Structure 1
């Protein structure tokens, strides 16, 4: 009897060892593998060109900090879809409005960290629901929420608000102009991809509250991560929320866990690259050239290998957001704070990602929402009859 049990156990152990070995090989391969992408090769050039106009204009006018804000607004060009000209421009204009609105909401409530945390969390729920309802493709709600979170941590000042909002709007307008010119050139050089006409319609899903539940999870974790950053008085609390959001962009549980490893590993290597670049004591011109070059590399790699892209995302985001920071020249403190923010945000993102793909949790939450809605309808009907 013992001999039979031993024989039966061996295949299971062999299978487990083989599957673990295959899984390990797959994960190690994903760190260096460059995936095939159908994205046009000139898209990274367009994104880098948009960033270069904003940065070099600010440098020429002696307002590099303003140029960085314009560059931040110009990130809306990453939402440029592969659609006919009319639909492409409509998408870009709507996304531009979303970027300006996100920045406005964030900076308008930046006078109090706790009020801004609650407002940005509620706004994140709304934005994620709208993006999911209209099925906006990648990067989805990420940059709308990124700019809202960053704005909520900026110094508050009524006199400076209109100027900063205007600079973000200038960046979005620049992106729309470049998109329009690029689309006209593309029409003359090659045929556009045939797409059915885009119509705005309300889509009824089988899982009625699926998008709402997901949006509530995202909003709650944005609020929690931003609140933790403020509670512990971190130097850059928005990085915790941004890291949390980046992890929750995964498409499955395994992808979420994979992103945690990739983001922490990529950030660590990226901080090393940033230290190497800062070692040369960057001048404003060199800083602008570095950001444009990093932008091109990131947009080339982001659809092919996430961990390699994160290596270059880390120094670019530090250059974009930390130039005016007093810790910018103190690389040891800057890197310590940055790594702490990334690890903390990644752990929160892991929990949020687990809930996003926990079907039982989402089902029970949807049932509770439906019950609340039915109770509200019954109370309303009884009041009207009385």
Structure 2
């Protein structure tokens, strides 16, 4: 009963409301720019870069700009790596695993809290599915960089509109911090989840490693189990609003508005209840992918693929979390 209560509890707000508004504003400006230019894929690329703002840490302005800027560089680096790995098909799992291990090691060393290595890894995984010609990569890097610039601008705006407020204390990622195996196990889990989804024939298997790293970044094994339940249940429930919103993809301004509102909702809900946030993350991620015309799939196929990817990635994360606990106990 206590575990069920923990799954259903809505925690008190722990973040200034300005953070969710500014995060949504960064994404919204990026999407609006794409709509104005008649180039929605460019807007979604910029929005991906703008997600760097979500890494805003507590502390001095210098640290805040440094962490958000570094997160933006990680998102760009992930996209470049994913684009290069895309032609290798199933072998991309190895590259994604190595990148995830390096990204996790970097955020642990820098003591960066949630969302940790999620967005750089999501960028890398997404790029493996786009099959972008290498000749187009510099242009996309500029679009991503534009989104990172928006994120940095929002950091400055946060310091202006809320000078007496600070970002909330970072949720630690190093829940088995004294074990140096964390990046290795996370990287292996990301690689395995992608490979399993690919072998299962799931279209767009990139979401399996994204789900995996999102779940495993809990601050304890209990937190990993909770995030596992929230991720699976939230995704399955989130497929309903996704089915309603995906037909908006041909309408740029409606897509821009929906993505902006969903981004605000996600940032407002993540610290209060991860499962409810995932209900919005699901249509947000699917709408971003479809709006970019990245290999459109039939609606039913897309929804089933997302459900299978989430189940596979979350299950691998749960097993990896158990392995980390055993490693930690063996070293104690």
Q: Which residue of the partner structure matches residue 354 of structure 1?
A: 322
Q: 1:64 to 1:279 in 2, by over 3 A?
A: closer
Q: Which residue of the partner structure matches residue 64 of structure 1?
A: 40
Do the aligned partners of 1:133 and 1:211 also contact (CA within 8 Å) in 2? Answer: no
Task: Number of aligned residue pairs: give it.
Answer: 325
Q: Which residue of the partner structure matches residue 9 of structure 2?
A: 33
Task: Give the alignment of 1:36-115 within 5 angstroms.
Answer: 36-115=12-91
Do the aligned partners of 1:111 and 1:156 also contact (CA within 8 Å) in 2? Answer: no
Q: 1:157 to 1:354 in 2, by over 3 A?
A: same
Worse-superposed segment, 115-124 or 240-249: 115-124
Q: Which residue of the partner structure matches residue 159 of structure 2?
A: 183
1:127 aligns with 2:103: yes
1:338 aligns with 2:314: no
Task: Give the alignment of 1:265-344 within 5 angstroms.
Answer: 265-278=233-246, 283-323=251-291, 324-325=293-294, 327-328=296-297, 330-344=298-312
1:212 aligns with 2:180: yes
When the two structures are superposed, what TM-score results if normalisation uses the length of structure 2?
A: 0.90
Q: Which residue of the partner structure matches residue 120 of structure 2?
A: 144
RMSD of aligned alpha carbons: 2.5
**How far does the alpha carbon of each residue in 1:29-53 deviate from its partner, in whole angstroms, 9 at most, with x for none?**
3344321133111110000100110
1:99 CA displacement = 2.0
Q: 1:62 to 1:238 in 2, by over 3 A?
A: same
Worse-superposed segment, 171-180 or 88-97: 88-97
1:254 CA displacement = 2.2
Structure 2: gaps of 5 or more residues:
none
1:360 CA displacement = 5.5
**Structure whose alpha-carbon radius of gyration is higher:** 1
Q: 1:81 to 1:280 in 2, by over 3 A?
A: closer
Aligned to 2:146, what secondary structure does the other structure show? helix
Do the aligned partners of 2:248 and 2:254 also contact (CA within 8 Å) in 1? Answer: no
Task: Give the alignment of 1:145-164 within 5 angstroms.
Answer: 145-164=121-140
1:280 CA displacement = 7.1
Aligned to 1:111, what secondary structure does the other structure show? helix
Do the aligned partners of 2:249 and 2:287 also contact (CA within 8 Å) in 1? Answer: no
Q: Which has the higher contact order (CA 8 A, sep 6+)?
A: 2
Q: Which residue of the partner structure matches residue 20 of structure 1?
A: none
Aligned to 1:136, what secondary structure does the other structure show? coil
Distance 1:279 1:224 in 2: 33
Worse-superposed segment, 128-137 or 89-98: 89-98
Distance 1:300 1:332 in 2: 29
Distance 1:326 1:112 in 2: 18
Do the aligned partners of 2:235 and 2:279 also contact (CA within 8 Å) in 1? Answer: yes
When the two structures are superposed, what TM-score results if normalisation uses the length of structure 1?
A: 0.78
Q: Which runs of 4+ in 1 moved over 6 A?
A: 279-282
Aligned to 2:313, what secondary structure does the other structure show? helix
**How far does the alpha carbon of each residue in 1:284-334 deviate from its partner, in whole angstroms, 9 at most, with x for none?**
211111111111111111000111111111101100113315545x32222
Do the aligned partners of 1:106 and 1:151 also contact (CA within 8 Å) in 2? Answer: yes
1:281 CA displacement = 7.8
Worse-superposed segment, 301-310 or 330-339: 330-339
Distance 1:258 1:186 in 2: 32
Q: Which residue of the partner structure matches residue 148 of structure 2?
A: 172
Do the aligned partners of 2:79 and 2:124 also contact (CA within 8 Å) in 1? Answer: yes
Distance 2:99 2:226 in 1: 28
Aligned to 1:233, what secondary structure does the other structure show? coil
Worse-superposed segment, 55-64 or 258-267: 258-267
Q: 1:162 to 1:300 in 2, by over 3 A?
A: same
Q: 1:362 to 1:96 in 2, by over 3 A?
A: farther
